[in-house]
Amino acid sequence: MTITGQDTETSRALRGLEDREASVRLRAAMAVGTAPDPGFVGKLVERCAVEPEFFVRDMLTWALIRHPVALTLPVLLREVRSGPAQARSQALHTLSKIGDRSAWPVITRELLTDADDDVARSAWRAAVVLVPDEEQESLAAVLATQLGRGGRDTQLSLGRALVDLGDVALPALRTAATASDPDVRAHALATQQVLRDPDTGFGFAIEEAKRVVALGGAPVVDDEVC
């Protein structure tokens, strides 16, 4: 973005988004969010696609949600549909923070099963926030196809998404708990346990479920959850 006219504090902040120092970029994002302007939306989204530091990206998201949804939503949806992996992941994260359910159609099965773990995790979080009530069961069924995927952080993200859906996730979890893949079974059983008892730590639940699956058994999980 080319900035013309008087070299205001905000225009300097925009240029600061590309500074070599992360602390400068952080302050720049805060300054831009403090003084929202329609001309800044494109630059903020553009920076989200390449910013390497998580805490700076989080501030970029904050700056974006300080702008009117009518301005940010079209740009974010475009990023989700056609941007590179980081752009899609960050746009989905921002959509989850905005919470406008009109964005739901952009959450496709392809996004929910994306090969990039960061994109998929962001899609899961956004989907749970944006899904209409009548689509929750279908969403749970798609999310359940990803059980057993990835490392601890990815499995935790998916488990949280399914738990956030509540009781509607139970049929999909029960089916997955009988899968032939032991990782899928353990992940499904652990998620059921956390859904039944939210105070259970997911790390503990997954290790216990793996132990049970390895021994060839299955814990008794009450049908009455929450």
pLDDT in tens, 123-165: 999 999 999 999 999 999 999 999 999 998 999 999 999 999 9
- This prediction's pTM: 0.87
CB 42, CB 64: distance < 8 Å = no
Q: Where are the domains of the chain?
A: 146-226
From the CB of residue 215, how many other CB atoms can be counted at a distance below 10 Å? 8
C-alpha 173/C-alpha 191 separation (Å) is 8
pLDDT in tens, 186-220: 999 999 988 888 877 777 787 788 787 877 755 44
C-alpha 175/C-alpha 131 separation (Å) is 22
CA angle in degrees (0–180, nearest 5) for 66-67-73? 120
